[in-house]
Amino acid sequence: MMSPNKLIYCLILTTVLISACSDKSDKPAVAEAPQQIPGEVHLAPNSPKKSYIKTAKLNLTTHPLMEPLTGKITYNESVTSRISSPVAGRVIVNPIALGSIISAGTNLLELDSPDVADAEANFAKAQADLILANKNTIRQQELFAGKATSQKELERAQDDFNAASSEVQRAKDRLKNLHIDSNQNDGHFKLRAPIAGVVVEKDVNLGLEVRPDRDTPLFVISDTKSLTLLMALFEVNLSKIKLGQKLSVSVPAYPNQTFTATVTYISQVLDEKTRSIQVRCDLPNPDKLLLPGMYATINVESEPNDKAIIIPLTAVFTEGDADYVFIALDENNFKQQKVEIALRLKDKAVISGGLSENELLVTDGALTLRSEEEVETSSDKR
């Protein structure tokens, strides 16, 4: 028979063995973490960080060739006329109102002009001198026929007649240049519009004394349906602009609307101080929304057959001297990708290498994925 001490020892040993076997069988197996691939990030399907991640499919599109330029809208000089008076005088009739729509030949103002009075008097005197010279010529011809005068006197009379005829023509041409009827003799001058358009500027009032040498025009008439866009182009970008090229234009007054301008002139002279070249563009304005004097932002886009991938800058992060983005492999896995940026703008970048069409780009949350990558890398090292 087993002694009590031995019985207690056997019971304790049995209990320990059973407990050891039970612990080994009941302890759950620890799942091995998936092997971390450098440059890739894995998020659990239920990770709250996924709410910060936004993606977009990449596609090829026309792209900016340079940073936006600043320009100024002005009158189109080919349909604009700055009008001054060719004669001195005092305004005696109310000038046409600012903003009036006029046709060519419309009377803009009327002057009481000493210059016109002199021109009319000169024409009248020239006509009288011509009549007198004609009568003298006829008389000398009759006397010469009757041998009562010499050949020399007849020739002198004919010369006087020719000189009087020339003076009449000169005085008549003067009136014609002023658009004054040769029968007029009141000393008044009517300033008429040379082109059709709108009176966009006016600097004259009733009673004002005007002179031909006035510094500023009395009126500016222009067809504001056609404007000109002026811009300065740095020489480094000269190769990106050519005649006939279409440019996209926007103004602060209409932030959600764009207008199209066409390059019509590229200066052949470089401004040595600013290292820039002046460029002129035709800017159609059929709805008259744009106004001369407005400042504009000009975007120079590539040709339709020159396309690239454009991404938001929120997708880009920088490490050292290189730029990177994240590409979504699926809903939970993301891959870090090095990219080459051809042009970095205010809120977007033009990509020249590293991305392909139809890839799924992480547009928001790249820094979240980058921090998660650092955490996973640190865990792998421990």
pLDDT tens readout for residues 277-332: 999 999 999 999 999 999 999 999 988 888 999 999 999 999 888 999 999 999 89
35-73 pLDDT tens trace: 566 778 898 888 888 888 999 999 999 899 999 999 999
Q: Is 29 part of a structural domain of the chain? A: no
Domain boundary among 185, 202, 234: 185
Q: Residues 280, 312: one domain?
A: no
- Of all residues in the chain, the percent with pLDDT exceeding 90 is 65
Evaluate whether residue 4 is within a structural domain: no
Asked if the structure places residue 218 within a domain, the reply is no
Domain edge (last residue) among 283, 299, 315: 299
d(CA 235, CA 283): 23
For residue 52, being part of any structural domain is answered with: yes
What domain count does the chain have?
Answer: 3
What distance in Å separates the CA atoms of residue 63 and residue 65, rounded to the nearest whole number?
Answer: 6
Residues 84, 325: Cα–Cα separation, whole Å? 63
Lookup: tokens for 224: 């504001």
Residue 126, in any domain of the structure: yes
The CA distance from 175 to 125, in Å, is: 14
The CATH code of the domain that includes 286 is: 2.40.30.170
What mean pLDDT comes out for the span 356-367?
92
- Is residue 9 scored above 60 in pLDDT? no
Shared domain for 293 and 312, answered yes or no, is no
Domain of residue 169, residue span: 116-185
Q: What's the pLDDT at 105?
A: 92
Taking Cα atoms as reference points, which of 290, 332, 287, 339 lies closest to residue 311? 339
206 belongs to a structural domain: no
Write the pLDDT tens digit of every residue in 167-226: 999 998 998 888 888 888 898 999 999 999 999 999 999 999 999 999 999 999 999 999
pLDDT band per the 50, 70, 90 thresholds, residue 378: low
Q: Is residue 353 part of a domain?
A: yes
Is 269 domain-assigned? yes
Examine the fold and report which residue of 185, 214, 234 is the final residue of a domain before the chain moves on. Answer: 185
- The average confidence (pLDDT) of the chain is 87
CA distance 378 to 370: 12
Looking at per-residue confidence, does 144 or 329 come out higher? 329
pLDDT band at 32 (very low <50, low <70, confident <90, very high): very low
